[in-house]
Amino acid sequence: MVNDMSDTIAAISTAIGEAGIGIVRLSGRDSIEIANRIFIGNKVKSLDEAENRKLTYGHIVDPETGQIIDEVLIAYMKEPYTYTRENVVEIYCHGGVISVKRILEAVLSCGARLAEPGEFTKRAFLNGRLDLAQSEAVIDLIRAKTDKSLQVSLSQLEGGLSKRIRDIRNMLLEMLAHINASIDFSEDDVEDMGYEELENKARLVKDEIEKLLRTADRGKILRDGLNTVILGKPNVGKSSLLNSILRENRAIVTNIPGTTRDIIEEYVNIDGIPLKIIDTAGIRNTEDIVEKIGVDKAKEMVNKADLIIAVFDISNELSDEDYEIIEIIKDKQAIVLLNKSDLPKKYDKDYFEKLLPDKTIIYTSILEDIGVDALEEEIKRLFYSGDIDIESDVVVTNMRHKNQLIKAKKNIEDGIEGILANVPLDCIEVDIKACWENLGEISGDTVGEDILDRIFSDFCIGK
Ligand code: GDP
């Protein structure tokens, strides 16, 4: 990534396409100067006469020919009180493809450089306005699938997670200071004086890390969706079920281009839980998921899933395929639907309870819209049960953060082991320091350029 912070960067910050307005944004030392070269105001000659942070009306002209490109509103925002902490200019023009592109070309020809994906936010980070966890929350916020996921990313953007990490790191710093002091005085046999206190502190740190880690599974689901597979042999009612869920709860459909056929991801919003139904196109287009793609493939999908909804038709005899599905879901998080319960039943719940003792089993008639509510209630119960309060707790949503927490937990456990074994303090110090550093990678206090590049390249251009 080109990362010269002295460059002035520019990008189209709105989605391209037919729209009411489009926004071209600039950030950097020369933003205002560059904008002045292409802006002619109605009342002001140049932006220098316009007020900071106020919209000014005028036109953008081609810097070479002077020809009008579009009628615009423009605002400049002087550093440091801006998103990037640099001079920022935003040009609000008519939406659509041509106007925004021509304005972008005009600012590029006047000396701005096209921004890399996420470069505005990266500058906000490098200039100290946001820490890394907050910067990552920006992209989560943009991609949020439900109100709840928006809420957790907003809390992260406001620094909820960062503060918790900072508090833990401060505890570790106190331990390091303590160790250093003890090492300095070690000749006067004060060395073992500190072990007990160190142990207490280390256990507190471990507790705090574990508390955060406990939120990570649900956090990941809020951010990425609950990967759900609807499993069942042909004709049991899978697509009817899917359509019924979608009809009431459809949240967002995103196309992921670049694959052989575009994969369609559909998100369903079950009371704030984003359910991502895996390969729904597959379910709808191929008559039989188990038969067409084979048992192995079905197993693979099941392994990737957070939740399986297994559908059986209890108005018919169970077949080998049904029993195979029962085997597949035995050790998985699964909800069992006994469908077509409006018809005379060949099996009852008891029969399935014996085969699948720990699963929730629900009678449904999708045709008559019976039992789908119970299914949704069960999904909510699975997600919200436990001791985590999504509303008020800091929730870890990001896999990168989770991995750093796991590393930090290992470090502190090693530290505790060392303390209990009375190993020399400088050995313990190594673990404490590693723990402090691993947590620092979450907030971005200790983080390499390669990790930064990876994080910000995941952003869209213009953010
Ligand atoms: P899939 O192959 O598993 O996706 O099954 P479909 O959803 O296509 O359903 C197969 C057939 O069963 C269709 O004719 C549905 O109308 C019917 N069907 C689905 N659910 C029920 C139900 O609860 N009761 C009855 N009687 N028929 C149903």
Per-residue pLDDT tens digits for 386-416: 655 666 679 999 999 999 999 999 999 999 9
Beta carbons of 23 and 36 less than 8 angstroms apart: no
Instruction: Report the pLDDT value the prediction gives residue 1, as an integer from 0 to 100.
Output: 47
Q: Which atom of ligand 1 is nearest to the CA of 243?
A: 7
**Contact residues of ligand 1, CB 6 A cut-off:** 232, 234-240, 339-340, 342-343, 365-367
Kindly give the distance from the C-alpha atom of residue 59 to the centroid of ligand 1, in angstroms, as a whole number: 60
pTM: predicted TM-score of the whole model, two decimal places: 0.82
Shortest-distance Cα residue to atom 11 of ligand 1: 235
pLDDT less than 70: residues of the chain? 1-3, 185-193, 250-265, 279-298, 386-392
The ligand 1 atom at the shortest distance from the C-alpha of residue 287 is 2
Contact between 405 and 385 under an 8 Å Cβ cutoff? The reply is no
User: E-strand spans in 4-123?
Assistant: 9-12, 21-27, 39-41, 56-61, 68-77, 88-94, 113-114
100: how many CB neighbours lie within 10 A of its CB?
25
- What's the pLDDT score for residue 253? 53
CA 395 to ligand 1 center in whole angstroms: 39
Burial environment of residue 131 by CB neighbours within 10 A (0 to 12, 13 to 18, 19 or more): buried
Q: Is the bond preceding 424 in cis, omega lying within 30 degrees of 0?
A: no
Identify the pLDDT of residue 188. Answer: 55
Give me the domains of the chain, ranges plus CATH numbers. 9-131 (3.30.1360.120), 146-215+395-444 (1.20.120.430), 223-384 (3.40.50.300)
Bond preceding residue 80 cis, omega within 30 of 0: yes
Per-residue pLDDT, 225 = 87
Q: Which of 316, 367, 369, 370 to mutate to test the pocket of ligand 1 (most atoms within 8 A of CB)?
A: 367
Q: Residue whose CA is closest, atom 24 of ligand 1? A: 340
Q: What is the largest CA-CA distance in the chain?
A: 86
Amino acid at 418: G
Q: What is the pLDDT of residue 18?
A: 87
Q: Which atom of ligand 1 is nearest to the CA of 284?
A: 4
pLDDT in tens, 288-312: 455 555 566 667 778 888 899 999 9
Name the token pair of 178: 């303590």
Q: Measured in angstroms, how far is the CA atom of residue 273 from the centroid of ligand 1? A: 26
Which ligand 1 atom is the nearest neighbour of the CA of 343?
A: 26
Which of 230, 240, 311 has most ligand 1 atoms within 8 Å of its beta carbon, as the pocket-test mutant?
A: 240
pLDDT score at 33: 97
